[in-house]
Amino acid sequence: MLEELKKQVCRANIELVSSGLVVYTWGNVSEISSDRRYVVIKPSGVDYSVMTPEDMVVVDLQSGETVEGPWRPSSDTPTHLELYRRFPRIGGVTHTHSIHAVVFAQAGMDIPALGTTHADYFYGPVPCTRSLTEQEVQEAYEQNTGKVICETLAECGYDVLSVPGIVVRHHGPFTWGKDGASSVYHAVVLEKVAEMALKTLQLNPQATMPQFILDKHYHRKHGPGAYYGQKK
């Protein structure tokens, strides 16, 4: 089971490169095993061009200890683990430093829902977290990054899969989904809607979208009466 999961996670990480979301080693994807005991994640600082499934690192969800793999896991592993522990419906997590999403993170701004492309995937603004305190950064930076993501989602009252992404202030985007591949998909979409929002606000800083349009577009793809696409 874990060997197949390593292959899936390796493919998902490589897709970050082919999608243009990362340069050098600026990103990581993880996925949790079906029994929710182990998380497979990209190794820290290993170049995507030479990465193989055998390089993936297996981490125990509860202890955070490496149980398999030749390398140290991504430095963002504690953030991923915090999300898996808090939200049992999350099956995969992606982190990037994609340009337009990072712009909103650095500005400390939510990515507003301004059009139907956004509404097709995110049922509301993509939130930006608060800044971490100096103590939070010094004590357990990556774990506290996960905690501030969870805190922000709780404050917004969001269903975790209806808005499958966030921007961490001063840092960048994290996205998630039912598995690693879907978390990458949401990372690609998040970057595109961030670019659209930025350019829209440059043309019209007062731009908005009515709630009924957001409702229509989100629910036609994800609601109980969804009719977008083909029946399985």
Q: What would the pLDDT profile of 81-127 be if each residue is shown by its tens digit?
A: 999 999 999 999 999 999 999 999 999 999 999 999 999 999 999 99
Q: What is the mean pLDDT of residues 203-217?
A: 97
More confident residue, 229 or 135: 135
Q: Residues in the chain, how many?
A: 232
Coil vs helix vs strand at 214: helix
Q: What pLDDT, on a 0 to 100 scale, did the predictor assign at position 232?
A: 66
Q: What pLDDT, on a 0 to 100 scale, did the predictor assign at position 150?
A: 97
Q: CA 145 to CA 174: how far, in whole Å?
A: 10
CATH of 2-222, one of 3.20.20.70, 3.30.460.80, 3.40.225.10, 3.40.50.300: 3.40.225.10
Q: What angle, rounded to 10 degrees, do the helices at 99-107 and 180-203 form?
A: 70
Residues 6+ apart with CB under 8 A from 182: 91, 92, 164
By annotation, the residues acting in catalysis are: 120, 228
| Alpha-carbon Rg for the chain in angstroms | 17
Q: What pLDDT, on a 0 to 100 scale, did the predictor assign at position 25?
A: 85
Map tokens 């993880």 to a residue: 30
Q: What pLDDT, on a 0 to 100 scale, did the predictor assign at position 171?
A: 97
pTM of the model: 0.94
Coil vs helix vs strand at 120: coil
Domain spans, the chain: 2-222
Coil vs helix vs strand at 161: coil
Q: What angle, rounded to 10 degrees, do the helices at 2-18 and 180-203 form?
A: 20
Coil vs helix vs strand at 89: coil
pLDDT digits (tens, 9 = 90+) for 53-94: 999 999 999 999 999 998 999 999 999 999 999 999 999 999
Among residues 143, 133, 117, which one has the least CA distance to residue 63?
A: 143
pLDDT digits (tens, 9 = 90+) for 1-25: 799 999 999 999 999 999 999 888 8
Q: Which two tokens stand for residue 217?
A: 């577009």
pLDDT digits (tens, 9 = 90+) for 144-186: 999 999 999 999 999 999 999 999 999 999 999 999 999 999 9
